[in-house]
Structure 1
């Protein structure tokens, strides 16, 4: 590792969704300090070109490197789909995206090879999950569907009840009849709707949370490279930065993180 084991893990996303990845990291690696950057001034990334997303991602990574991170987690499916090669080439620390861990977890879970992927239109359009699955196992039958309304439902706290259930039934009906036995939640917002999604697809379909799979991948990589923070290090520190006013990030983000966010600093990452 270029940095010491006491150095923090850096995490970035275009907004609050990546906090589900951070939550999984905190649970899986409770002794690690973290630095989270939400590029809230330029959200969403899914509607922007690959070139623009790559430029934003490199700027985000530069900011986090200045804070001494030992590893970067790209907690954004769109950035993972289009910017990961550029980040890996440019950075002196390991880089982990959310797509490959999610795909690998799905391959480990599927029994019959029918894997569904749900995500934002940008992620589904990129074909990144489908390529990751089919290149690892050509026998996999990958079926993908964009579920754009899941994002505002999660951000507004509409994660239970008739409204999200109606939306989920419309989006997920095809997965219940096409031989899918494993479903990848390919957006960092979607874990908040896991209960509704599970109710619609039924117990015969295993849900793969890419946030949890990513946390497992980070733990394995740090362990392999001798970079895990020691249990004796004391209380870890968690810092939050955003590129727009922090109040809504703190309010909505607390639901995604499962704990209060008491402070977030606004920073300027303009070019």
Structure 2
């Protein structure tokens, strides 16, 4: 079954893994930048006083009481044109400042920016691609037969991971709790229900633990494969340290 896959398959999977990993941290950087911009924007509005024109609009403003009615209605003017321009300019300025200035988030900061979807999805895709490639390696190395390979490769991602690391798990040499958390979080992005949309706010410390555990487990796979290539376990460390040095008050090793 695996004879149809040659070196090109391994190269394509490696390229895919590299793409997903790099994209995941691009989205995370964007998420933190937007959160910093929002903080700068909110602070710049603290000194903004409503004009007499704004006060007059507020006095006559009547908005629908429910979310559905609000979404279905034509929203009236809620602030004056002048105030709208001031706020628009303030947001543009906040985005420019967020690009140039630096801010250090605490490790317990919860990431609420919508770009966190891109990080969790792509990092999950990265791990899944690495696991799929290792399963192909096990099959072509005659460690697992074609029948087992066909069944395992179609199973859920955590089942694939548990199968690969079953000996280490039985010997209590590794833990999969953070990887389980990764795919729990990714499932919330895949099934972006109203409840999931509300609660999906991972902490920076939570992501750090996921990256560290994933790096250690991938390193174990790399030692078995012994491929002459750039190690993905080291790439995780590189990208995670880069994002932590830029945005975190403390860098977790």
The bucket for the TM-score relative to the shorter chain is under 0.3
Larger Rg: 2
TM-score, length-scaled by structure 2: 0.27
TM-score, length-scaled by structure 1: 0.26
- The structure where helix makes up a greater share of residues is 2
